Structure 1
Amino acid sequence: MREAGRLSTTPGGAGRIPHGYHLDAHSHPDGQLVYAAAGVLATTTEQGTWVAPANRVTWTPPGFDHAHRFYGDTDARLLAIPADECRDLVLRPSVFAVSPLVREALLALTSDSGRSPDAERRLRAVLIDELVEAPEQSLHLPEPRDDRLLAVTGLLHADPGRGATLAELGRAAGASERTLSRLFHTELGMSFQRWRTILRIHHAVLHLTEGRSVTGTAIACGWANPSTFIEAFTAVVGQTPGRYQAELG
Structure 2
Amino acid sequence: MQKIRHTPVAPTRTQRLASGGEIDAHRHDDHQIAYASRGTIAVTTDAGSWIAPATRALWIPAGTVHRHQAHGELDLHLIGLPTTDNPLGLDTPAVLAVSPLLRELIVAYTRDPDNDTPPHHRLRAVMLDQLTLSPERPLHLPAPTDPLLHELHDILRTDPADNRSLDDLGRQIGAGARTLSRRLRDDLGLTYPQWRTQIRLHHALVLLADDTPVTTVAHRCGWSSASTFIDVFRRTFGHTPGTRPTR
Deviation at 1:18, TM superposition (A): 0.5
Q: Which residue does the alignment assign to 1:205?
A: 205
| Counterparts of residues 85-100 of structure 1 (less than 5 Å) | 85-86=85-86, 88-100=88-100
1:57 matches 2:63: no
1:189 matches 2:189: yes
Deviation at 1:212, TM superposition (A): 1.4
Q: Which residue does the alignment assign to 2:32?
A: 32
CA RMSD of aligned residues (A): 2.0
1:72 matches 2:72: yes
Deviation at 1:52, TM superposition (A): 0.4
Q: Which residue does the alignment assign to 1:150?
A: 150
Contact kept? 2:77, 2:106, Cα under 8 Å: yes
Structure 2, unaligned stretches of length 5 or more?
A: 1-5
Deviation at 1:12, TM superposition (A): 2.1
Q: Which residue does the alignment assign to 1:5?
A: none
Contact kept? 2:161, 2:222, Cα under 8 Å: yes
Deviation at 1:156, TM superposition (A): 0.6
Structure richer in helix, relative to its length? 1
Q: Which residue does the alignment assign to 1:3?
A: none
Counterpart CA distance in 2 for 1:165 and 1:213 is 27
Q: Which residue does the alignment assign to 1:178?
A: 178
Moved more, 218-227 or 115-124: 115-124
What TM-score, normalized by structure 1, do the two folds share?
0.89
Q: What's the secondary structure of 1:243's corresponding residue?
A: coil
Deviation at 1:117, TM superposition (A): 6.0
**CA 1:56–1:87: 2 relative to 1, 3 Å:** closer
Deviation at 1:129, TM superposition (A): 2.4
Counterpart CA distance in 2 for 1:114 and 1:66 is 25
Counterpart CA distance in 2 for 1:227 and 1:87 is 37
Give per-residue Cα distances to partners, 1:158-211, cap 9 Å, x unaligned.
Answer: 111111111111111221100111111221111111111111111111212212
Deviation at 1:16, TM superposition (A): 1.5
Q: What's the secondary structure of 2:76's corresponding residue?
A: strand
Counterpart CA distance in 1 for 2:19 and 2:26 is 20
Q: Which residue does the alignment assign to 2:224?
A: 224
Deviation at 1:121, TM superposition (A): 4.5
Contact kept? 1:204, 1:217, Cα under 8 Å: yes
**CA 1:82–1:120: 2 relative to 1, 3 Å:** farther
Deviation at 1:44, TM superposition (A): 0.8
Moved more, 60-69 or 87-96: 87-96
Contact kept? 1:35, 1:56, Cα under 8 Å: yes
**CA 1:119–1:64: 2 relative to 1, 3 Å:** farther
Letter in 2 for 1:21: G
Counterpart CA distance in 1 for 2:121 and 2:65 is 25
Deviation at 1:27, TM superposition (A): 0.6
Letter in 1 for 2:153: T
Structure 1, unaligned stretches of length 5 or more?
A: 1-7
Letter in 1 for 2:102: V
Report the identity percentage.
Answer: 41
Q: What's the secondary structure of 2:19's corresponding residue?
A: coil
Deviation at 1:123, TM superposition (A): 3.2
Counterpart CA distance in 2 for 1:175 and 1:82 is 47
Contact kept? 1:161, 1:223, Cα under 8 Å: yes
Contact kept? 1:34, 1:78, Cα under 8 Å: yes
Counterpart CA distance in 2 for 1:248 and 1:209 is 16
Moved >6 Å (runs of 4+): none
Give per-residue Cα distances to partners, 1:90-134, cap 9 Å, x unaligned.
Answer: 111001111122112211221126632665454333222222221
Deviation at 1:72, TM superposition (A): 0.9
